[in-house]
């Protein structure tokens, strides 16, 4: 397919490379010209706007930080909707509020453009190896049309409901990940403070009920003191904020999500917003005056 791609950050660049590898023709745009040049060097066509990228494409993907950027990238004066032809497809793979996804979907429908909200889970490592978990909201026939693109970027793509459902599912995912990392941090801080080797404790529990993909990915990062961002704290805080706003609109109480969001906010205020979200554990470390590391 001829594919436009808007947003060439930590996630977007490897997703573009996997689409190119699968044989798709990519036209790309980002507000950072250096990212555009780097991606063009990998085989994509550089564009000067989302509008231009969409005009050259059958399907346009956006992968940007939050709702306001999605609205600008799709509905703005130089947005993808201005360039997309009737019958074209726009897929937003950002993690945003379900209400914003529905607003963008309605704007696309008014212009005869198909729309899917399709946020992802897996962070930079899975974006690089093309094994993202993709959570999709939209119509089944449109979902089927997008399958070749999803197969190039992910190991699974699941239609979870109408437009907006993809982002509800992603918010559920982000709640589970944040609370899981926080629990891991508390557990390994306790073990370290008790004089144990946290790596041995991690290896002892990972095969039992406490084991998870989150534990396997994030415990080694905390133990090795490697907080290079695969998924930044400030972006996870944004996701939990969106989860709490959605919950408020539905009168759902999310006490543990609220606590995790406050921890993330505190870490941002301490200058750690661009660290990997495995650094949630450092909040517990600060209170205990101990670092999770080998004795």
pLDDT digits (tens, 9 = 90+) for 42-80: 999 999 999 999 999 999 999 999 999 999 999 999 999
Q: What is the mean pLDDT of the chain?
A: 97
The pLDDT value recorded for residue 294 is: 84
pLDDT of 295 > 90? The answer is no
3-state secondary structure of 76: coil
pLDDT digits (tens, 9 = 90+) for 176-190: 999 999 999 999 999
The pLDDT value recorded for residue 203 is: 98
pLDDT digits (tens, 9 = 90+) for 116-150: 999 999 989 999 999 999 999 999 999 999 999 99
**In Å, how far are 38, 55, 105, 116, 206 from 119, measured between CA atoms?**
24, 23, 14, 10, 28
**Which residue among the candidates 13, 170, 218, 238 is catalytic per the annotation?**
170
Percent of the chain with pLDDT over 70: 100
pLDDT of 82 > 90? The answer is yes
H or E segment and range at residue 217: helix 213-224
Burial category of 113 from C-beta neighbours within 10 Å (exposed 0-12, middle 13-18, buried 19 and up): buried
Domains and CATH numbers, the chain: 2-163 (3.40.50.720), 168-288 (1.10.1040.10)
Please give the DSSP secondary-structure letter assigned to residue 225.
T
Asked if 170 is an active-site residue, the reply is yes
pLDDT of 230 > 90? The answer is no
In terms of Cα–Cα distance, which of 9, 173, 167, 193 is closest to 95?
167
* Mean pLDDT value across residues 200-209: 98
The pLDDT value recorded for residue 181 is: 98
The pLDDT value recorded for residue 287 is: 97
In terms of Cα–Cα distance, which of 33, 31, 27, 35 is closest to 11?
35
pLDDT of 243 > 90? The answer is yes
């Amino acid at each position: 397919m001829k594919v436009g791609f808007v947003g060439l950050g930590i996630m977007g660049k490897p997703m573009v490379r996997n689409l190119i590898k699968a044989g798709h023709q990519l036209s790309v745009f980002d507000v950072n010209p250096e990212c555009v040049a780097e991606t063009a060097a990998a085989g994509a066509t550089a564009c000067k706007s989302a509008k231009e990228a969409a005009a050259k494409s059958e399907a346009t993907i956006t992968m940007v930080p939050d709702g306001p950027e999605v609205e600008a990238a799709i509905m703005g004066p130089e947005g993808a909707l201005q360039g997309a032809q009737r019958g074209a497809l726009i897929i937003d793979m950002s993690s945003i509020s379900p209400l914003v996804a529905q607003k963008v979907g309605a704007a696309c429908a008014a212009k005869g453009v198909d729309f899917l909200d399709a946020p992802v889970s897996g962070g930079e490592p899975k974006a690089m190896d093309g094994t993202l978990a993709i959570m999709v909201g939209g119509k089944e026939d449109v979902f089927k049309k997008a399958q070749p693109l999803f197969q190039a970027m992910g190991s699974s793509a699941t239609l979870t409901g109408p437009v907006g459902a993809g982002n509800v599912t992603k918010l559920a995912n982000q709640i589970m990940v944040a609370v899981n990392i926080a629990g891991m941090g508390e557990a390994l801080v306790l073990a370290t403070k008790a004089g144990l080797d946290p790596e041995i404790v991690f290896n002892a529990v990972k095969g039992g009920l406490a084991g998870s993909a989150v534990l396997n990915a994030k415990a080694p990062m905390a133990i090795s003191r490697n907080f290079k961002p695969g998924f930044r704290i400030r972006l996870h805080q944004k996701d939990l904020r969106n989860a709490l706003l959605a919950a408020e609109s539905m009168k759902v109480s999310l006490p543990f999500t609220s606590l995790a969001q406050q921890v993330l906010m505190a870490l941002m205020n301490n200058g750690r917003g661009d660290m990997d979200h495995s650094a949630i554990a450092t909040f517990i470390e600060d209170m205990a005056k101990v670092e999770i590391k080998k004795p």
